[in-house]
Each structure stands twice: as C-alpha cells, then as structure tokens.
Amino acid sequence: MQDAPVLTAVQDGIGTITLNRPEARNALGQAMRPALAAAVTQMRDDKAVHAVILTGAGGAFCSGGDISAMLDPARQGLTFRDGMRALHQWFPELVNMEKPVIAAVDGPAFGAGLSLALAADFVLATRRARFCAVFGRIGLIPDLGALHLLPRIVGLQKAKELVFTARTLDAEEARRLGMVCDIVEDGTALTEAAQALARRFGDASTAAIGMAKTIMNQSFESDARTIAELESYGQSLCRSSPYHQEAIQRFKNKEPLRFDWDRPA
C-alpha cells in the first residue's frame, strides 16, 4: 500500500524502510510509530536481509515528532509516558540490529528524525540535508535515544552545544562532526549511493558484523574486562561458522576471499 505511513521492500538482500508521510515531511505521527516498529522487526528477523536502508519519501528524512499531536490534551502525563516507553521498545532494536544500517538523509532530520539518523551505522546525506536537535526551541529535551547517541558520536561538549542551542547543521558540518559518512548531490544520487553501499556487504559475514556491532555498542558502558569476555565468546562463535571455515579454505587454496573491501568492484 503506497499510502501506508511506512513502506518496506526487500530486494537482493537489501531491506529498505521508507518513512512515507511526505505531506508532513515524514513527521513521526501516531500511525507511523507502530508501522516503523513492525518494519524494524521485519528487517531484523529476515535472514535474507544483509543490510538495511532507512530513508524518507518526498525529499525529507523525518522532521521529528508530530507537533499537532502534542496539542492533544489526552496525551499528557502518564499517557504520554506510556507512548514514550512504547518507542523505546523498538528503537533499541534499530540501534542494535545485527546488520549494517544505512540512513539515507535528504532534507530535514530534525528532533526524532535526528535520533533515527544517529541510530544508523552509516549516514549518507544530500547537500540539502539538515540536522537539528530542535527540541530546545519548544522547551523540551531530546528524546528517542538522542541524549545517549549524540554525545557518543560528536563528543560530550559538542553535544551539549547542539542540544542547548538547538541550531541547525548543514551536511558539511555534520560530516566534520562525524555524524555523516558521505555527501551526495541529490536524491537520485542518494538512493544509488545507499544501495551501492548496502550491496558491498552482500559477501560479508552478517553474523560477524552483527556480533562486532553488538559488542562495540556496549563498549562505552562496559569495562575492558567485560569487553574482552564478550570478544572471547563472539570470536569462538565466529570461528565455528561455515563462513569462516570457507574463508580459511579459500586462503589455503590461494583463492580470492568473498569479502574484500579494498578489492575493486
């Protein structure tokens, strides 16, 4: 259904989640939230998917929360808290999905949209992309994981500046701060770049990438000994995997490895 608030597609091992409220610049409205939760679960559980692209329709990524819903007197106090807690049921699944996640950002990534971009492992942006922890403009604090993710990506002092000022970053500044991996010219180039990046993981070990991602995502909250233990368990599992056994056999036979990022396409 092309009028659904979130669209999903899987092709050649690449899963795509598209926020689909272009008339509202893909604001995270009430109908979109459960649909996005279902899309994240679908991509997480689909064994055929080796990489996921998260993007928005109509020249916008996500403009943040739905301001009109904030005016609803029924969504206050404990009711609003319940809604926020529901978001945090699925958002960690996006952050910790054991597959490469690529955010393809065109236009605004504001508020909760910024959080969605920060949840990805790679952020590709057009030159029209804009990023903003906009919450302070309406007297709120960042949510949907931004207070956790932003300091880890840009550093604590810079995160405080971006949150306190609620100022807008263009794609170039976001790249300098480490929020954006690469910049392309327009939406067509953005789609092509995201798909090309996702395809490059087609011959990688999704299990090994996922395990490394899970451990690294815990590295700021864990001491070195804990990480070493997780590393030991993870490496033991990877060494017994068919992918690793095949790679070792290829090496012994002096055959090219399936996954070599430095090898020309």
Contacts 24+ apart (CB under 8 A), 28-31: 28/62, 28/64, 28/65, 28/66, 28/112, 28/113, 29/5, 29/66, 29/69, 30/66, 30/69, 31/5
Contact predicate 12/48, CB 8 Å:
no
Task: Indicate whether 75 pLDDT > 70.
Answer: no
Query: What pTM, to 2 d.p., does this model score?
Result: 0.94
54/56 Cα distance (integer angstroms): 7
Closest listed residue to residue 97, CA positions, set 143, 41, 28, 38: 41
Mean pLDDT, residues 56-76: 80
* Lookup result for tokens 């368990």: 233
pLDDT in tens, 203-255: 999 999 999 999 999 999 999 999 999 999 999 999 999 999 999 999 999 99
What CA–CA distance (Å, rounded) separates 218 from 222? 6
